[in-house]
Amino acid sequence: MSNIHFLIDFLLFGFFPEQQRWRLMIILLICLSHTWLTLKFARHSIPLKTFILCSFCLLTSSWYLAFGDGWLLNIIPTNQLSGFILNICLAYWSIPIATVMSVGFCYLMIYQPELWPTHCFVILAKIIRSIPLITLLFFITLILPMMTNIEITRFQAALTGLIIFLIAYIVEVFKGAHQAIDTHQHESAAALQITGIRKFIHIDLPQIIKNSIPSLINTYIGLIKDTALVTIIGLSDSLGNLQLLIAKYEFKHDFLLLFAIIAALFWMLCFICSLFGKKLEKAIVYE
Amino acid sequence: MNNFIEFRNVSAQIDDRTILKDVNLTIHQGEHVGIIGPSGSGKSSLIRTINRLLPIHTGKIIINGKDNHTKNLPQIGMVFQAYALFPHLTVLENLTLAPLLHGGNAKALKCKAQALLEKVRLAGFDDRYPNSLSGGQQQRIAIARALMIDPEILLLDEPTSALDPEMINEVKLVLQDIIANNMTVLIVSHDIAFIKKTTSRILFLENGQIISDQSQKDFFENPAHARQSEFISQLNH
């Protein structure tokens, strides 16, 4: 057990340079503050424009902190972002991006179902939902670069795969939430001449978000656990790092403990997510 | 009086079911028309075709000399049986959303909304959400919302049917107060007393057709159709 601190440290932060770990701590703080900001927004404490601006700033600054620019912050290669922090970063970056993109696709599916991009998206989403995530990750990592000559790092492939996978599910969640809106509201909106994108933004979307919170949180929790699959395409997330340890050292008696630690970390992350969901549900009450 | 709303051989279908058959009707500006008839006779469908909530299959609807598919038509307000307020918006937001989206001034609209809330006897309810209000209060908010756009035509689709007797009175009193003389009003209702108080002309519909179109006095004293007499006698029991 003498090396247990080293092992836990390796599981958490992997190959990220030790002198630069403060950057990861700030990323964790950013994740928490974004959660807090979302709750504030749901309670109408901050306006929509401020929320969008702050969210954008938080996301870009977390990305900047993770990889640097070689000017103010040292550049960190994407393969050095590893360990449990990689799982957190993948979840943190993919969830907001996929959710925002899903809103756009949801609008297309509801209001522009006849357009060809909508048809393409619907077919693609059906295909993505029918294949395992790992197949999609392999496709983006191995087959897509061969087909298109686009160079893509494993990290980029993992993030892209997770976002695409998440969009395919969230759009269905949103579609279901839209169907739950009372049909009389559509009629009254039409009678008030509120149609198209204006109706979607002002009448449908707030109710879609409210109606979909439980399913949305469910999907997010699924994604958090799915981030562990990136180890199969060669990224060193927490499980990947544990496999490296198993291969390199002979601390076999410690492995059970390390697995338990990883399980506890994922449980904690999912618990925070479900707690966030509960708070969000309570925050969005129209009474 | 000029022909303000004209139905010219209007037929409408939902799926394969014909709900309006070859309707011809003229309504003058400022007229208050009651529409009665058995359930499924096409009363609600008739008024829904005016603001295009229900598309028509044949014929034409002319409003103030223009096809109702053209732009710059007179404003048409509508009140639904099920209130149809937006639950995620406060009372004030429910009232001001549509005119704001159509380019209205926020401050002026807020003042107008508050004045209308006072008119429907709900002053001070600005920040409440619809779900925290009673059915009668929600319906009065829906009436105020319909009036926010200064409608020249007001369509009332069974505005009291979903309410208990006490709330019915609240809504009826408010409606009697606010229906202005220059506003063209079409009221679909089973409440004969309300129809008697608020309208001057009554249409009787059955199977998607207008089988009687009489002044209020004649409608009750000299029914034009046997089916109409039968329906009135059932309502009186």
pLDDT in tens, B42-92: 999 999 999 999 999 999 999 998 898 888 888 999 999 888 999 999 999
Spatial distance between the Cα atoms of A91 and A97, rounded to a whole number of angstroms = 10
CB atoms B101 and A184 under 8 Å? no
Take residue A222 and report the two structure tokens written for it.
């699924």
Beta bridge partners of B212: B204
- Give every strand in the sheet of B153-157, ordered side by side: B76-79, B153-157, B184-188, B32-36, B201-206, B209-215
CB atoms B98 and A287 under 8 Å? no
Spatial distance between the Cα atoms of B129 and B89, rounded to a whole number of angstroms = 6
pTM recorded for the entire structure: 0.89
Would you say A208 and A181 are in contact if contact means Cβ atoms under 8 Å apart? yes
Spatial distance between the Cα atoms of B230 and B237, rounded to a whole number of angstroms = 11
Residue A138 dihedral angles phi and psi, to the nearest 5° = -65, -40
CB atoms A210 and B88 under 8 Å? yes
Q: Cα distance from A201 to chain B (closest Cα, Å)? A: 11
Burial of B193 (0-12, 13-18, 19+ CB in 10 A): exposed
Which of B174, B166, B181, B107 has the alpha carbon at shortest distance from B145? B174
CB atoms A187 and B80 under 8 Å? yes
pLDDT at A1 exceeding the cut of 60: no
Residues 38-67 of A with CB under 8 A from B: none
pLDDT in tens, B124-162: 999 999 999 998 899 999 999 999 998 999 999 998 887
pLDDT in tens, A239-283: 998 888 888 776 666 778 888 999 999 999 999 999 999 999 999
Torsion, Cα A10 A13 A19 A25, to 10 degrees, reads: -140
Which of B220, B201, B194 has the alpha carbon at shortest distance from B139? B194
- What is the SS3 assignment for B37? coil
Arithmetic mean of pLDDT, A102-127: 96
Residue B128 dihedral angles phi and psi, to the nearest 5° = -80, 155
Spatial distance between the Cα atoms of A16 and A11, rounded to a whole number of angstroms = 11
CB atoms A286 and B149 under 8 Å? no
Contacts of B132 in chain A (CB under 8 A): 287
Burial of B155 (0-12, 13-18, 19+ CB in 10 A): buried
Cα angle B208, B211, B216; round to 5:
120
Take residue A134 and report the two structure tokens written for it.
């790992």
Arithmetic mean of pLDDT, A228-244: 91
Q: Which of B80, B82, B88 sits opposite A286 (nearest CB)?
A: B88
CB atoms A182 and B84 under 8 Å? yes
CB atoms B97 and A202 under 8 Å? yes
Contacts of A207 in chain B (CB under 8 A): 87-88
Average pLDDT, chain B: 90
Residues 199-228 of A with CB under 8 A from B: 202-203, 206-207, 210
Take residue B45 and report the two structure tokens written for it.
């469908």
CB atoms B84 and A188 under 8 Å? yes
Would you say A154 and A233 are in contact if contact means Cβ atoms under 8 Å apart? yes
The answer regarding whether domain A2-283 maps to CATH 3.40.50.2300 reads: no
Q: Cα distance from B88 to chain A (closest Cα, Å)? A: 6
Q: Cα distance from B182 to chain A (closest Cα, Å)? A: 21
Arithmetic mean of pLDDT, B167-177: 80
A4-13, A53-62, A159-168, A252-261: which range is least confident on average?
Answer: A252-261
